[in-house]
Amino acid sequence: MMNSPFQRAIKDMSKRREQAVEEACIMIEADAKLLAPVDTGTLKRSITHAVKSDEKSTQGSVGTPVEYAIYAERKKPYLEPAVDQNLEAIKRKIAEVLRP
């Protein structure tokens, strides 16, 4: 069965939404690595991102499995400032996706 123009538009929007979230996560991850405190470098190397999507939503996350990461964030924030300094760029990416 041929996809309708409506179904194709939804699929395209989903792909663009996922790409925007991926790009936002990459920006945040890069800046978090720049801002992360460094002793051995383990924390910095462990910062990564993930994006998951379904038909209705896309979610992105940036973080680290390192056990002491929360304490490092409290002592010298690196994740929250990485989000803050990219907020306007993230808003622009989302606006681009929402444009027809």
The whole-model pTM stands at: 0.89
Helix (H) or strand (E) holding 86: helix 79-98
Helix (H) or strand (E) holding 95: helix 79-98
Distances in whole angstroms, Cα of residue 57 to Cα of each of 19, 46, 70, 82, 99:
12, 26, 28, 23, 17
pLDDT digits (tens, 9 = 90+) for 24-37: 999 999 999 999 99
Are the CB atoms for 97 and 57 separated by under 8 Å?
no
pLDDT digits (tens, 9 = 90+) for 15-62: 999 999 999 999 999 999 999 999 999 999 999 999 999 888 999 999
